Structure 1
Amino acid sequence: MSSGLTERRQTILKLVIQEFVETAQPVASETLVRKYRLNVSPATVRNELAALEELGYLMHLHTSAGRVPTDIGYRFFVENLMDRTTLSLPEQRMIRHQFYQVRGELDQWIQLAGSVLARTAQNASVVTPLRSADRLRFRQVELVAIHDTMALAVLVFHGGVVKQQTLALDAVRSPDDLRRCAARISSVLADLELSDVEDLLTRDQQQEGSEFGDFERQVLDLVARAMDAFEAQAQEQIYSDGLIEMLSQPEFIPALAREDAERAVERMRRALDILKSGRGLGSLIPQALASDGVQVIIGGENSADEMREYSVILARYGVERAVTGVLGVIGPTRMAYPRSISSVRYISSLMSDLLAELYQADQRSPES
């Protein structure tokens, strides 16, 4: 598709996006010629705008004569046209000073990262807590009788994670029965991750005769469900900030027309739901954790329907192969991408540097 983008069309596309991000108004040819002093006539620019629309980079909004960027237009802009900027040195010094004031306080660093991102990008921010780079691995299980029809399963995982689950008994089980079952399951599942446990259960179900008794299989299912719930909860923990900044964007300010007001209110409701529940963001977090650099997901590139009108910019932070998290910003697709990307890049780099210093200091400290 980019084969139809001449140098002049690329210039006009860049100007349209910059103007639309700045004004939130459809961009007309006369505006471009007048404001940017183009050496071509408005008629020529109109022809180029029509060509960009036909190629899928621009579109009409309602019946306006002006054009606005499409998701494809924004994507081409981010990858090929936007100016690569960095935060100014005074901004960097001020931000770094704020972090050093709460040096060593991990919870405060996470909150501060969200606050700084929201302020610098003028949109909502999202930050996930640090989590171990290692996947949750099973260690052992203990089964303790509560009464004749109920037992307590104490699940122990590597890294000191302990979960307790009640287990309904299909029959009266003696303490020796519970100990033998727990010992067998602990032996079979030792050091396994969730995917390994699920594979074991699938293979056992598919073979002609199960190698586990009914009660053992009940405990295996319990372990798999507990591990799945723990990993899902870890992905869903998202700290957010900048709701006021996000809702101050023109997309959330109702116009006079009733349909525009209803659309703005619906956008506001969706934004609140996304930031409160993390819905729509959960699938993006594992991708960001597994990727290097800054990840930009624009509008319809999101798989979740509720995210189709938003762009998300994410980056991993932390200490590689030790502890990592994800931070970024979310806002309407009409976003100041250079500013947002540079903000996410700088804060993720700063957080990683600070955590590396803290981690190295912990490694050097003598064991108590």
Structure 2
Amino acid sequence: MAAGLTERRQLILKLVVQEFVETAMPVASDALVRKYRLGVSSATVRNELAALEDLGYLTHLYTSAGRVPTDAGYRFFVENLMERTSLSLPEQRMIRHQFYQVRGELDQWVQLAGAVLARTAQNASLVTPPRSSDPLRFRHLELVAIHESMALAVLVFHGGIVKQQTLTLDADRSPDDLRRVAGRVSDLLTDLTLNGVEELLNTDAQQPQPSFGDFERLLADLVVRAMHAFEEQVQEQIYSDGLIEMLSQPEFIPALAREDAERAVQRMRHALEILKSGRGLGQLIPQALASDGVQVIIGGENSTNEMREYSIVLARYGVDRAVAGVLGIIGPTRMAYPRSISTVRYISSLMSDLLTELYSTEQRPPEEDNA
């Protein structure tokens, strides 16, 4: 038990979180006593609310207003007070049926996952397409002369990824010379990851007689830039849905006071920017890919300022040692955490099952024709 959190204070904290999530209104002691028949006076509950505020689990927006949870309050609720729930069986059957209607269509699975997450949790969703769980590795390089002073560099990576780049040649080079240089660079870099290529280049540059000539180093630097660009592109591939659901939350609905209206509009613009650009989300993806189970990041626990008014529920999905992606929910910190967590957990499990089935089918040897 956290210091100062008696059983009664834990109960009151749990009720405050539940009431605030449900109503989006500060919670007063009188309301708790009336609704939950706590068996103590309003004065006693007020004292407990004040103690919870002193401990950092609650705060109040105005002097005479009721209390609302802080990030620490939500965190304690999620880890210690929240009832672990699952989606109802009818919901699970309906969702599974939707996915099996687009059976085998991986792109549609990703889009459907985003739509189902948003609709079920009533907040915005994010999904990254599944990608190889292994780091990108270089395979080989080809150089094709297209002009006496230009060549086309074809960079081939494991997994069938191909990148092309035109090069301006610093000297006349015959096709045989281009093939020889490409073969040498390929031999030096084959099967290396981005870190491996960079480490090799840094070590070689410190040698009295470097293995890479000037033109070969230029080609190796081209490989490094291509691998960096690929990694950045992968991080930016975040599919989002549920903008309408998130903007329907009370946090985004203007109140009567002008300052509240301006604040709501500012929040809307901010939410649009996050979902459109993925800024503040990309760095959470590697963290989720490296973790098991459902990850919950609440408000100020986010490392970037633009995300500190939001909570994110993420989970990894995929096939072990093959491919993996991330899916989750983003919304205001006043989030229905039990519902959000159970939704993310179920969809990630379903996506993993579907991908496992897809990959096992693709890798299954064809049946022999006995006719």
Mark yes or no: TM-score above 0.5. Answer: yes
Residue in 2 that maps onto 1:100: 100
How far is 1:278 from its partner? 1.3
Distance 1:72 1:212, change over 3 A: same
How far is 1:207 from its partner? 4.5
What amino acid maps onto 1:68 in structure 2? V
- Please give the per-residue CA displacement for 1:72-91, whole angstroms capped at 9, x wherever unaligned: 11111101100000011111
Residue in 1 that maps onto 2:20: 20
1:6 aligns with 2:6: yes
Residue in 2 that maps onto 1:58: 58
Residue in 2 that maps onto 1:77: 77
Distance 2:220 2:199 in 1: 12
What amino acid maps onto 2:40 in structure 1? V
What amino acid maps onto 1:342 in structure 2? S
Distance 1:67 1:325 in 2: 38
Residue in 1 that maps onto 2:357: 357
Residue in 2 that maps onto 1:131: 131
Residue in 2 that maps onto 1:88: 88
Q: Secondary structure at the match of 1:315?
A: strand
Structure 1 vs Structure 2: percent identity of aligned residues?
81
What amino acid maps onto 2:240 in structure 1? S
**Ranges in structure 2 where 5+ consecutive residues have no aligned partner:** none
Residue in 2 that maps onto 1:270: 270
- Please give the per-residue CA displacement for 1:35-66, whole angstroms capped at 9, x wherever unaligned: 11111111111111111111111112144521
- Please give the per-residue CA displacement for 1:246-290, whole angstroms capped at 9, x wherever unaligned: 100001111122221121111111111111111111111111111
Output the aligned Cα RMSD.
Answer: 1.7
| 1:26–1:64 CA contact under 8 A, matched in 2 | no
How far is 1:206 from its partner? 4.2
**Ranges in structure 1 where 5+ consecutive residues have no aligned partner:** none
Residue in 1 that maps onto 2:229: 229
Distance 1:203 1:54 in 2: 56
Q: Secondary structure at the match of 1:3?
A: coil
1:321 aligns with 2:328: no
Q: Greater shift after overlay, 245-254 or 36-45?
A: 36-45
How far is 1:223 from its partner? 0.4
Equivalent pairs, count: 368
Distance 1:268 1:168 in 2: 47
Residue in 1 that maps onto 2:122: 122
Name the TM-score, length of structure 1 as normaliser. 0.96
- Please give the per-residue CA displacement for 1:117-167, whole angstroms capped at 9, x wherever unaligned: 111100011111111122111001112233344322100011111100122
What amino acid maps onto 1:121 in structure 2? A
Distance 1:276 1:24 in 2: 26
Name the TM-score, length of structure 2 as normaliser. 0.95
Distance 2:216 2:145 in 1: 15
Distance 1:157 1:32, change over 3 A: same
Distance 1:47 1:95, change over 3 A: same
Distance 1:243 1:364 in 2: 40
What amino acid maps onto 1:99 in structure 2? F
Residue in 2 that maps onto 1:333: 333
